[in-house]
């Protein structure tokens, strides 16, 4: 849990909140954080930016890039081509 909270510092501040009270972006980060708790070899993300504000999309992109730098394999299915292609070129 400590490793996941290091990657999600904003989640550390929200530990005592119920998932349903989080914003869409916070819920998306919570979903990814929960998936990472099992230390997966591959992380599958299906439309992670759907319905999120541009500011949250930017935070999510940074998060995905940090996971990639930590050598986590990521399978990304995304309709937001700018997000997907920008992420690919920066990896």
| pLDDT score for 91 | 44
Instruction: Indicate the domain borders of the chain.
Output: 2-90
Please, are residues 25 and 61 in contact by the beta-carbon 8 Å criterion? no
Both tokens assigned to 82: 């700018």
Average pLDDT over residues 47-75: 84
pLDDT for residue 28:
82
Topology annotation, domain 2-90: Rossmann fold (3.40.50)
72 C-beta neighbours (distance < 10 Å), count:
16
pLDDT of 4 above 80: no
- The pLDDT of 60-80, averaged and rounded, is 86
For residues 31 and 87, what is the distance between their CA atoms, to the nearest angstrom? 20
Mean pLDDT estimate for the chain: 81
Given pLDDT bands bounded at 50, 70 and 90, which one contains residue 88?
A: low
Mean pLDDT over 32-57 rounds to 86
Rounded to a whole number of angstroms, the distance between the first and last alpha carbons of the chain is: 26
């Amino acid at each position: 849990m400590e490793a996941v909270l290091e990657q999600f510092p904003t989640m550390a501040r929200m530990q005592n909140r119920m998932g349903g009270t989080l914003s869409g972006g916070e819920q998306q980060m919570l979903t990814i954080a929960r998936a990472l708790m099992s230390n997966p070899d591959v992380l599958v993300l299906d439309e992670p930016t759907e319905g999120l504000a541009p500011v949250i999309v930017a935070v999510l992109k940074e998060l995905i890039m940090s996971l990639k730098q930590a050598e986590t394999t990521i399978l990304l299915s995304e309709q937001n081509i700018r997000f997907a292609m920008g992420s690919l070129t920066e990896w």
